[in-house]
Amino acid sequence: MSRVFRARALPLVILAALSLGACSSAPKVPPFAGTPPKRIVLLPFEGSLSVRGKAALRRLLGSFLVDRQYIKIDDEIVDTRVAQMGWRPWERGWIPDDASLAGVARALGAGAVVVGQDLRDESVSAGILYRRGVYGTVRWIDAATAKTLWSVEVGSSRTGGVALESGQVLKALSETVESSSDDAFVRLAAKLAFELAEAVPAHPESSEVAVRPQIAQVSAQPGDGVLRPGDMLTLRVNGTPGGRARASFAGIPGAVPLAESEPGVYATSVKILPGMGVAQGPVIATVYDVTGQPSEPRSSLTPVRIDAPRVDSPSDFTASVEPGTRRVRLAWKSAPGAVRYSVARIAGGPPVTLDAGAAQEWVDTVPAGPSQVTYAVAGAGASGLFGPPSATVVVNLN
């Protein structure tokens, strides 16, 4: 007896996925008419796209435009001016009127401002198919006239799927899995930013090698005596005007930003916090010009001395396994001066950090696999710097 197999029509969208596996698409970006101004301000992008997504697009587009011989005003300087204007780039619809945008570009010595609006991540999943896209509007606004020089609707997307009925697993399966990953988004963002930059003509004027900004003096007040928790330290840098500066002091990890209080003078005040450490060393500063080019670092002549001991190790660190589970209950005694704790779990790979907050206990659920886990805990003071870790505790999960 013979059996008859009847062909069943598949929806057109599934057939497309079968034939293509996964594909990328993007509307063709119309080229820029004429030559844009050479110096540009690239504002924070606006829209429902995630904060990380908008920041990634901004960085990528800025890098591509610099490669095409445009001079981009340093993003940190732009963001400072945006904050001074009282604008809130983390909110939807924050973009003000074009005249205000043009005013910011003029104040920063730029000929145009680039605005990304309504940036959104449109993801659609229909069973075995997906479509993920990044879309929005990009405009170039002339700084002198506040008129729009160029406006374009842009987008980039990926589609893909798998054929379950035939039992075949296409390469598109891996595309589907990775479509929700950060890597997939970065590829979309890079494609979109590259096509935008390609639509803008390479500037005919080559960018000259700029003279690096200079630092004349670095100082700290008070520059003598020992600074303890609650004391104030004032940092001052004299250098090339119109930029920004950062400085570290006494070997304490991290650098603090300095605001330009008057042309060529950058200053800030830092409160010494408990747990910063016991250290001595100079103030080391760097000045960045309006395009972000750094100076050579320069040190103060007088060292800064800090006496704010790190918190001690937490004591009496214990661990116990809840019977029949992979849940490990951890407990410890407080470390004087600690405001939060961090637990490190080591289980046959890189340490995993668990933020326990201000609590003095933590219940950790160990993923399947390892039969033995090692733990340690450390406390951090108000400065955010962690002291030495506790002795380790080894837990058997057999």
The rounded distance, in Å, linking the Cα atoms of 131 and 26 is: 13
Residue 2 inside a domain? The answer is no
Report the percent of the chain where pLDDT is more than 90: 37
Secondary structure (3-state) at 1: coil
* Domain final position from 170, 199, 228: 199
> For the domain that residue 328 is a member of, what is the CATH number?
2.60.40.10
Q: Over the stretch 219-254, which tens digit does the pLDDT of each residue have?
A: 998 866 789 888 999 999 999 999 999 999 887 878
pLDDT at 15 over 60: no
Q: What is the pLDDT of residues 65-110, one digit of tens each?
A: 888 889 999 999 999 999 999 999 999 999 999 999 999 999 999 9
Residue 173 maps to a domain = yes
Final residue of a structural domain among 308, 327, 358: 308
Sign of CA dihedral 68, 71, 76, 78: negative
H-run or E-run covering 352: strand 352-357
pLDDT: is 186 or 140 the higher one?
Answer: 140
Q: Is residue 24's pLDDT more than 70?
A: no
In a shared domain, residues 194 and 62: yes
On average, the pLDDT of the chain sits at: 80
Same domain, 121 and 187: yes
Picking from 242, 249, 221, the residue whose alpha carbon sits closest to that of residue 295 is 242
Q: Residues for the chain: how many in total?
A: 398
Domain range for residue 351?
A: 315-396
Distance, in Å, from the CA atom of 157 to the CA atom of 45, rounded to the nearest integer, reads 19
Q: Is residue 208 part of a domain?
A: no
pLDDT for 348 beyond 80: no
Rounded CA separation 283/270 (Å) = 12
When pLDDT is averaged across residues 164-186 and rounded to a whole number, the result is 43
Shared domain check, 338 and 280: no
Helix (H) or strand (E) holding 354: strand 352-357
Confidence (pLDDT) at 101 = 95
Q: Say which residue, 1 or 233, is predicted with more confidence.
A: 233
pLDDT at position 26:
46
**Is 133 in the same domain as 158?**
yes
90 with 192, same domain?
A: yes
Whether residues 19 and 166 share a domain: the answer is yes
Of 274, 293, 308, the one marking the end of a domain is 308
Short-list 290, 237, 233, CA closest to 261: 237
Residue 43 is part of a domain; what is its CATH number? 3.40.50.10610
Are residues 44 and 175 part of one domain? yes
What's the total number of domains in the chain? 3
- Torsions phi, psi for 130 (to 5 deg): -140, 160
CATH number reported for the structural domain that contains residue 258 in this entry: 2.60.40.770
Please compute the mean of the pLDDT values over residues 178-207 and round it to a whole number.
71
Could you tell me if 161 and 34 lie in one domain?
yes
142 in the same domain as 115: yes
- Residue 154's pLDDT band, with cuts at 50, 70 and 90, is confident
Q: Does residue 6 lie in a domain region?
A: no
The string over 277-304, giving b where at least 16 C-beta atoms fall within 10 Å of a residue's C-beta and e elsewhere, is bebebbbbbbbbbbbbbebeebebeebb
Token pair, residue 127, equals 């069973």
Looking at the domain assignment, is residue 5 inside a domain? no
Please, how many CA atoms are within 13 Å of residue 368, restricted to the half-sphere of its CB? Answer: 0
Could you tell me if residue 209 is inside a domain?
no
Shared-domain flag, residues 85 and 50 = yes
Flag whether pLDDT at 9 surpasses 70: no
What's the CA gap between 73 and 41, in Å, rounded? 5
Same domain, 192 and 102: yes
- Which pLDDT band, with edges at 50, 70 and 90, does 124 fall under? low
Task: Name the percent of the chain in helix, strand, coil, to the closest 5.
Answer: 20, 40, 45
pLDDT at 162: 37
Q: Is position 204 within any domain?
A: no
Residue type, 241: P
Q: What is the pLDDT of residue 184?
A: 64
Q: What pLDDT was estimated at residue 329?
A: 92
290 and 392 both lie in a single domain: no
The angle at the Cα of 369, spanning 363 to 372, to the nearest 5 degrees, equals: 65
